[in-house]
Structure 1
């Protein structure tokens, strides 16, 4: 049961709040046995020490797990909520930031920007940095700076036996490897020491929008795929967003992203080779030119989440595909995919979108890193494709045809590309319906992760759907 001191700390931080806690994804309604709210690493360790022999434990940083792992991913887990741990300190000489994992991305961006610094991370400002860094952490600055986990120099981690360690490349290096890509299965990160970067002197958010028949949309994506393998600069962040068209047989197509170069004129010169192959449209450029304003725009107007209040809920299902750069998607596969969206998607009663997020292409920092240097297993992706469908009113229940629609959309690509297409999946877009999930998420790294799991968590304290077994 642990020492009397740790037991008292546990009681002091324990809040039974089962009925008050809900997932951001209302498709799930799990009941944890209790939720604790520690304020220090030592209190986290005390809770783990007192309960690990009898309960399975999950940490909650922001609560945005797609499959509600922040509530345990099932009934009966103990949740350690880190929302009281929100320190962000920046060493002025080195630029290294110490960031506690109760912070959300917007609050991290706001605190770093006040010091003239920045970090690569996703656009949803409400996402907790703990889960984000555990599985990757992609944003429009990632082609320039890497994934969030690529910036981590060391961590403070509570292990399954309640001990506190500080893994880095020179200490507990095997654990440090596993924590950068599969952290939630091995321990609770209470803080990270991360390399930060000078905030860009200029930033803008851009968007170009088209309505297209499915055949033209397939050709456009093929042209974009060709374009990003030319010499594009790392300051160019981009994604193609697809949605329901105005009429059956059509799709909406949007090119959007962040630009962190010196001017809009330079951005337009970068984009010209692609735009010349597309129907002419006017681009939209948002923001006042500052980096933090671009973060706010991409975050639907929110940077300071503490002042803005809680995030919205949704009822959704999501999937992902990480497409291999060495095996580009064929025009035939794009045609099959776009035709599916133009007809099945048009008639679907879900609210859906698909995103082709640009990971690779020339000058991508993400893919310049040796694949075996971290547990993150896909350093050769050109795109990470997110497939996402909400219920018609964003409330439960979730319709059964929402699952079949998204699964069919993914299959339209994978089946046309054939069995030899070595795609992957992104664990931060967790999919509870995925088959062959451990290979798709972790590739050749999975056997090493299994061995390390038996070393660091032999009794399965940190166990949840999709955790390392």
Structure 2
């Protein structure tokens, strides 16, 4: 039986409602009647189940549900609605602002960890994926069938949130974002109904779920296209220690290279920037993958290398596709079921941009080389290649899905952690990243437009509605009013009615 104890974790509005209606015994009884695990404050295991990946946040959900079926999810949703709670789903739990816990105390959290099956239809090659899977386990399961799909590198990220708001990986220039592979979704709506959303069934909901998924219900099954795993991959890593001026020149050179007339889709990369060896210098790295024949890689990268100084280090790793996924994951393994997830205490920002002009690149590298040196937080910047010649991401219309920022060349992630990754987070970390972003935005030419990436969600971001969703936001608001008129599925930066 579930033990239920009221604490300050419950929202004031929910407490007032329950006491005013004498519903305390009814809520306790309803919780106990569920045929799956539920944890509430005071239960053994609750503290672990309610812990955030980003330790900058500590929230106390009113209850954490662990359903096993879509009908279980429906029961949890109905119970939340009945007692006036807001309901959120949690996949891997890596939301940068702990939105998988509601982004605040007092929410009903539906933890999807039991939805962890993956299967591939041998004829259609469509994968059926439970949204509680982590990316590493999805990659392993697909690889066992000789298949693959585009997704990020961190093995512990949950596929549910990742696919619902974008999903970039090194194969995305060739195969698109994770959400671009999705063919249909099973979703529990806030009235408890279980529906299918696809191009032919609830097509408006299907549009919204591919880019703003968490705001409309709880996805219980993902059906997605897969691709034949490449027969060979080449992971490349180059590193330089450059002056700010040389780093700005190298950025320009790389932009010219990726926008050249014949860059293959099989080429993917990101610039990894960090503090240089001394003030005035920048650590400048290029990491990525070549997903074509290994003997063709040298000719592809040669035009770029000819325009920059000789790197201080260079490493090429040729092997199987799944070996490349494991290598890029950085942990030496992809199976996430045997070792607990890690945590961090951090803040992140993002920009999705067209190519940077000279003034922007110069100001940005100068900032990194000066204010970025000797900071009291650990930081890095990843300049991810979304665009460039032949990019599958850019080949999708900006209004084809709720994911609007389709014309970007770069998605830039700015990330800084507290010392040793533990609380408290220094206020200087916010200032540091604000300055990085401002060095680019404040030097923008006329007509230079930019956005931000919802999977790098930023709780301090202003004008987030436009930056995340662009011209798609009014339609999303209309659909929110249609599918969740009582704002049951709510968290910071959720789609507003």
Match for 2:38 among 11, 14, 24?
A: 14
**Residue of structure 2 equivalent to 1:31:** 60
Asked if 1:367 is matched to 2:394, the reply is: yes
Asked if 1:124 is matched to 2:154, the reply is: yes
19-28 or 396-405, which deviates more: 19-28
Asked if 1:47 is matched to 2:71, the reply is: no
Offset at 1:387? 0.4
Is the 8 Å Cα contact of residues 62 and 104 (structure 1) preserved in structure 2?
yes
189-198 or 8-17, which deviates more: 8-17
**Residue of structure 2 equivalent to 1:254:** 285
Aligned length: 463
Is the 8 Å Cα contact of residues 322 and 424 (structure 1) preserved in structure 2?
yes
After superposition, give the CA deviation of every residue in 1:394-437 in whole Å (9 maximum; x if it has no partner). 11000001001100100000000146321000000000011111
After superposition, give the CA deviation of every residue in 1:285-326 in whole Å (9 maximum; x if it has no partner). 125x1000011111111211113x1221111000000002xx
In 2: Cα distance, 1:415 partner to 1:451 partner: 33
Is the 8 Å Cα contact of residues 199 and 206 (structure 2) preserved in structure 1?
yes
After superposition, give the CA deviation of every residue in 1:231-273 in whole Å (9 maximum; x if it has no partner). 210011100000010000001000001111011x311211111
Match for 1:285 among 289, 295, 316?
A: 316
Match for 1:393 among 395, 399, 420?
A: 420
In 1: Cα distance, 2:32 partner to 2:482 partner: 29
Match for 1:143 among 173, 179, 182?
A: 173
Asked if 1:461 is matched to 2:491, the reply is: no
Offset at 1:63? 0.3
In 2: Cα distance, 1:387 partner to 1:22 partner: 24
Three-state SS of the structure 2 residue aligned to 1:212 is strand
After superposition, give the CA deviation of every residue in 1:91-140 in whole Å (9 maximum; x if it has no partner). 00110000011100000000000000001000001000000011000000
Three-state SS of the structure 2 residue aligned to 1:345 is coil
Three-state SS of the structure 2 residue aligned to 1:366 is coil
Offset at 1:283? 2.4
Offset at 1:349? 1.2
Is the 8 Å Cα contact of residues 36 and 66 (structure 2) preserved in structure 1?
no
Is the 8 Å Cα contact of residues 36 and 68 (structure 2) preserved in structure 1?
no
Match for 1:452 among 479, 491, 494?
A: 479
Three-state SS of the structure 2 residue aligned to 1:355 is strand
Offset at 1:392? 1.7
Match for 2:466 among 428, 432, 439?
A: 439
Is the 8 Å Cα contact of residues 36 and 72 (structure 2) preserved in structure 1?
no
Three-state SS of the structure 1 residue aligned to 2:279 is coil
In 2: Cα distance, 1:9 partner to 1:166 partner: 27
Match for 1:242 among 266, 273, 278?
A: 273
Is the 8 Å Cα contact of residues 387 and 410 (structure 2) preserved in structure 1?
yes
**Residue of structure 2 equivalent to 1:379:** 406
Structure 2 portions without partners, runs of 5+: 1-22
Three-state SS of the structure 1 residue aligned to 2:421 is coil
Offset at 1:6? 8.2
Three-state SS of the structure 2 residue aligned to 1:447 is helix
Three-state SS of the structure 2 residue aligned to 1:132 is helix
In 1: Cα distance, 2:176 partner to 2:32 partner: 42
In 1: Cα distance, 2:131 partner to 2:236 partner: 31
Three-state SS of the structure 2 residue aligned to 1:388 is strand
Structure-2 change in CA distance of 1:418 and 1:401 (3 Å): farther
After superposition, give the CA deviation of every residue in 1:122-171 in whole Å (9 maximum; x if it has no partner). 00010000000110000000000000000000000000111100000000
After superposition, give the CA deviation of every residue in 1:170-225 in whole Å (9 maximum; x if it has no partner). 00000000000000000111111100000000012110000000000001001111
Is the 8 Å Cα contact of residues 322 and 425 (structure 1) preserved in structure 2?
yes
Three-state SS of the structure 2 residue aligned to 1:273 is helix
The Cα RMSD (Å) is 1.7
Three-state SS of the structure 2 residue aligned to 1:286 is strand
Is the 8 Å Cα contact of residues 6 and 46 (structure 1) preserved in structure 2?
no
Structure 1 portions without partners, runs of 5+: none
**Residue of structure 2 equivalent to 1:75:** 105
Match for 1:193 among 218, 223, 226?
A: 223
Three-state SS of the structure 2 residue aligned to 1:368 is coil
In 2: Cα distance, 1:82 partner to 1:356 partner: 31
In 1: Cα distance, 2:32 partner to 2:106 partner: 22
**Residue of structure 2 equivalent to 1:217:** 247
- Deviation above 4 Å: which 4+ runs of structure 1? 5-9
Structure-2 change in CA distance of 1:161 and 1:6 (3 Å): farther
Offset at 1:9? 5.7
In 1: Cα distance, 2:305 partner to 2:356 partner: 20
**Residue of structure 1 equivalent to 2:236:** 206
Alignment of 1:206-355 (within 5 A): 206-230=236-260, 231-263=262-294, 265-281=295-311, 282-286=313-317, 289-300=319-330, 301-307=332-338, 309-324=339-354, 328-355=355-382
